[in-house]
């Protein structure tokens, strides 16, 4: 038996790092800013050092932390020098990057296999592992766009988007206020409430069930692209017309899910309420609505993303000179692709936070559901 561990990522990383060392330099000869020797030395010491540590029989936590620190520090040294040298990266550069990527992979697999008892450490791991994943998407994106010299218009590197994001925070904040805090929140609340109320009405009154549901069905099939300009005509250029589009979009998922949820209670549970001579509203509030909660939260989650999409798309059809959709449509026309990407990042962030809040509410409300119990 050997004292070295069998880990194909580490061995391959070692091979790649040595290959990179053999094919130096990192940049082609015409590159305006070369890597200085100290930086190159540090990159190789960090990468090869981390690889060797990962091959030795050491405690896995120590190995993981070493890999995490060294591989990523080495990567940042490697990548930071690319700015200004777009399209000049050589084979050695990509070999070294690949070696670091394999080390990060090894790090994540060690972390994933860790069995921890402490809840805080477990919570930290739940954050660290996806963070490493996400970071590597950005790193590879950055390396590919700058390394191959991909035109800015096609795909700007994430660092440029980040710079643009940081310098336009006031504009982005104003857009979020206009689109999210006014149109999305208002439209979402009203749309969901209306869908819910109509579902109760349809459940209570046969006339609504027979007459209104087919029409509501029709409404769900309305194309948002067609509805948005009409809403602008009706409600003006400001956020009200966008809120109207959001209402139209969120109404139907809530209606359908609530109706499905209201029939989710079992027949035995209903018979029980019947045996208590419980009236319609008592049965509704004490049995049918609690049983419908998983369905209602499904609708709330679907709607949280639909609402954002609806409001942004609706802004393409006329807005005052603020709003996320407005910004995207005008900046793309001015070839400011980095601003478009910054706005997309904001939308993704807002959408995730929105979804997360709804999901937290779901956990608190439907803790009893078999899918949430164990967790």
Q: Which of 278, 305, 329, 330 binds other proteins (CB under 8 A)?
A: 278
Instruction: Extract long-range pairs of 80-84: CB within 8 Å, 24+ residues apart.
Output: 81/26, 81/33, 81/35, 81/39, 82/142, 82/143, 82/146, 82/147, 83/146, 83/159, 84/32, 84/33
Least distance from other proteins to the Cβ atom of residue 103, Å: 45
Among all chains, which residue has been given the structure tokens 């950055």? 142
Residues 67-96 as x/- pattern, contact with other proteins by CB under 8 A = ------------------------------
Exposed e or buried b for every residue in 217-233, given b needs 16+ CB within 10 A?
Answer: eeeeeeebeebbeebbe
Q: Taking the chain, what is the end-to-end CA distance rounded to the nearest angstrom? A: 41
CA 50 remoteness from chain centre: 31
Q: How far apart are CA 161 and CA 164, in angstroms?
A: 5
Start-end of H helices in 56-90: 60-80
Q: What is the DSSP letter of 317?
A: G
Query: In the range 19-78, which residues lie near other proteins by CB under 8 A?
Result: none
Least distance from other proteins to the Cβ atom of residue 285, Å: 10
* Cβ 248 vs Cβ 191: under 8 Å: yes
* Cβ 191 vs Cβ 307: under 8 Å: yes
Query: In the range 335-364, which residues lie near other proteins by CB under 8 A?
Result: none
**371 sits near other proteins (criterion: CB under 8 A):** no
**277 sits near other proteins (criterion: CB under 8 A):** yes
Q: Which of 34, 290, 309, 329 binds other proteins (CB under 8 A)?
A: 290
Site for other proteins (CB under 8 A): how many residues? 22
Interface stretch with other proteins, choices 136-144, 207-215, 275-283, 297-305 (CB under 8 A): 275-283
For residue 27, what are the β-bridge partners? Answer: 89
**368 sits near other proteins (criterion: CB under 8 A):** yes
Name the residue nearer to other proteins (CB basis): 3 or 268: 268
Interface stretch with other proteins, choices 65-73, 97-105, 241-249, 262-270 (CB under 8 A): 262-270
Among all chains, which residue has been given the structure tokens 């989650």? 301
H helix and E strand count, the chain? 17, 0
For residue 89, what are the β-bridge partners? Answer: 27
- For 89, phi then psi, to 5°, come to -65, 140
3-state class of 3 per DSSP?
A: coil
Q: Which of 155, 185, 260, 287 binds other proteins (CB under 8 A)?
A: 287
**206 sits near other proteins (criterion: CB under 8 A):** no
**221 sits near other proteins (criterion: CB under 8 A):** no
* Residue 154 CB burial class (10 angstroms; 0-12, 13-18, ≥19): exposed
**148 sits near other proteins (criterion: CB under 8 A):** no
Least distance from other proteins to the Cβ atom of residue 371, Å: 12
**264 sits near other proteins (criterion: CB under 8 A):** no
Least distance from other proteins to the Cβ atom of residue 275, Å: 5
Name the residue nearer to other proteins (CB basis): 263 or 282: 282
Interface stretch with other proteins, choices 31-39, 57-65, 147-155, 261-269 (CB under 8 A): 261-269
Q: How far apart are CA 147 and CA 144, in angstroms?
A: 5
Name the residue nearer to other proteins (CB basis): 1 or 268: 268
Residues that bind other proteins (CB under 8 A): 266, 268-269, 271-278, 282, 286-287, 290, 293, 366-370, 373
């Amino acid at each position: 038996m050997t004292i070295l561990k069998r880990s194909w990522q580490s061995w391959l990383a070692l091979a790649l790092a040595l290959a990179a060392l053999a094919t130096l330099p990192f940049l082609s000869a015409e590159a305006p800013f070369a890597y200085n020797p100290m930086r190159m030395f540090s990159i190789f010491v960090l990468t090869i050092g981390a690889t060797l540590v990962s091959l030795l029989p050491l405690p896995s936590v120590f190995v993981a932390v070493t890999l995490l620190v060294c591989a990523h520090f080495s990567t940042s040294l490697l990548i930071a020098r690319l700015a200004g040298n777009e399209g000049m990266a050589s084979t050695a550069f990509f070999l070294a990057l690949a070696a670091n990527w394999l080390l990060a992979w090894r790090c994540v697999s060690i972390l994933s296999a860790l069995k921890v008892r402490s809840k805080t450490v477990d919570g930290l791991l739940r954050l660290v592992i996806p963070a490493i994943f996400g970071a590597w998407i950005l790193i590879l994106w950055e390396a590919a766009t700058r390394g191959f010299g991909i035109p800015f218009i096609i795909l700007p590197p994430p660092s440029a988007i980040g710079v643009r994001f940081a310098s336009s925070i006031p504009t982005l904040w104003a857009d979020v206020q206009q689109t999210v805090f006014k149109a999305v929140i208002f439209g979402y609340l009203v749309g969901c409430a209306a869908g819910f109320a109509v579902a109760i009405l349809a459940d209570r009154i046969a006339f609504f069930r027979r007459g209104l549901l087919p029409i509501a069905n029709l409404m769900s099939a309305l194309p948002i692209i067609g509805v948005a300009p009409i809403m602008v005509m009706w409600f003006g250029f400001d956020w009200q017309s966008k809120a109207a589009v959001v209402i139209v979009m969120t109404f139907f998922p809530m209606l359908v899910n609530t109706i499905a949820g209201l029939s989710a209670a079992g027949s035995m549970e209903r018979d029980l309420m019947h045996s208590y001579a419980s009236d319609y509203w008592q049965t509704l509030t004490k049995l049918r609505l609690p049983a419908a909660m998983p369905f209602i939260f499904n609708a709330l989650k679907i709607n949280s993303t639909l609402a954002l999409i609806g409001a942004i798309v609706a802004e393409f059809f006329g807005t005052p000179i603020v709003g996320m959709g407005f910004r995207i449509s005008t900046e793309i026309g001015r070839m400011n692709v980095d601003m478009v990407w910054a706005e997309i990042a904001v939308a993704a962030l807002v959408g995730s936070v929105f979804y997360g809040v709804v999901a937290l509410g779901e956990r608190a409300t439907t803790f009893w559901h078999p899918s949430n119990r164990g967790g």
